[in-house]
Structure 1
């Protein structure tokens, strides 16, 4: 079981939250200036990564975990561009027909299993009300399923929401 001092997990998706899908004119090419250090590796969308995201994510004080179809490639292509260390990666099992109720995201059950009762945040652009209901009914620990606008990616308001939830969750877990 979890201790009162254990840091919450933060499950992090790449496409949408870190690499926004909006018009390319909306995003400064912040990494492009250092393209020799970070070539696009055949994916021009990597230039949309904000190099300041890593320090902001680390400042939340969570245990960061990749929860993306990028799998280990997130450590190779994304982490160095945004200043993150190598992170643990959720390994996705082969999908099966009985993954839960209709509309439940295919990641949801696996993230709850990975969390194993620990408090967690899941940052993704595909979270729905069904995912929230299922997690509330299936996960004994505190959780925040935070949907990010995929056209904008993680923005100040998202970081404020995450920090607010973390403060609240820590207060609930503090010994009285």
Structure 2
């Protein structure tokens, strides 16, 4: 069987912007001059590496190639494939056709903070196993979500 995918958003998932202060374990990094700091939890690198043992992980974010240039080094992970998104800002539903094309017929888990009705329709209509996990943008990625994805992929 083909390895399943983990499609990973950044803002609201790895960068929990929805709280006034960084959650525990996160540190602010000024990566984009003139913009709000990016909150990074270095533990996420180990979590993504663990997920990478059973899934092929890819960025699915408006960061596009900047994810590998700016975020991957902070997480101490290797560069990941990128599902290229339109230039920001864009309607969150615009992610769906790009994710659908990238995933093809492979099993896919997608972690994002803004799953749209189009995303749920896509997931429901797919023949391949599909898991959507919606992160709380005030909390970001949790170990529970990564464990859920790993268990889902292992059970396939």
- TM-score if structure 1 supplies the norm length? 0.74
Aligned residue number for residue 18 of structure 1: 14
Aligned residue number for residue 66 of structure 2: 73
Q: Highest CA radius of gyration, 1 or 2?
A: 1
1: CA distance between counterparts of 2:120 and 2:78?
29
Aligned residue number for residue 121 of structure 1: 109
Determine helix, strand or coil for the equivalent of 1:74: helix
Residues 58-137 of structure 1: matches in 2 within 5 Å? 58-60=49-51, 61-92=54-85, 105-137=93-125
Aligned residue number for residue 9 of structure 1: 5
Query: Contact 2:6/2:56 (CA < 8 Å) preserved in 1?
Result: yes
Query: Contact 2:100/2:122 (CA < 8 Å) preserved in 1?
Result: no
Structure 2: state its 5+ residue gaps.
none
Structure 1: state its 5+ residue gaps.
33-38, 95-102, 171-176
Matched positions, count? 149
Superposed structure 1 runs of 4+ greater than 6 Å apart: none
Pairwise CA distance, 1:9:
1.1
Measured at CA, do residues 73 and 128 of structure 1 come closer, stay the same or move farther in structure 2, by a change above 3 Å?
Answer: same
Determine helix, strand or coil for the equivalent of 1:57: helix
Determine helix, strand or coil for the equivalent of 2:37: helix
* 1:52 maps onto 2:43 in alignment: yes
Pairwise CA distance, 1:90:
1.1
Determine helix, strand or coil for the equivalent of 1:53: helix
Pairwise CA distance, 1:25:
4.9
2: CA distance between counterparts of 1:160 and 1:72?
26
1: CA distance between counterparts of 2:5 and 2:65?
18
Query: Contact 1:71/1:89 (CA < 8 Å) preserved in 2?
Result: yes
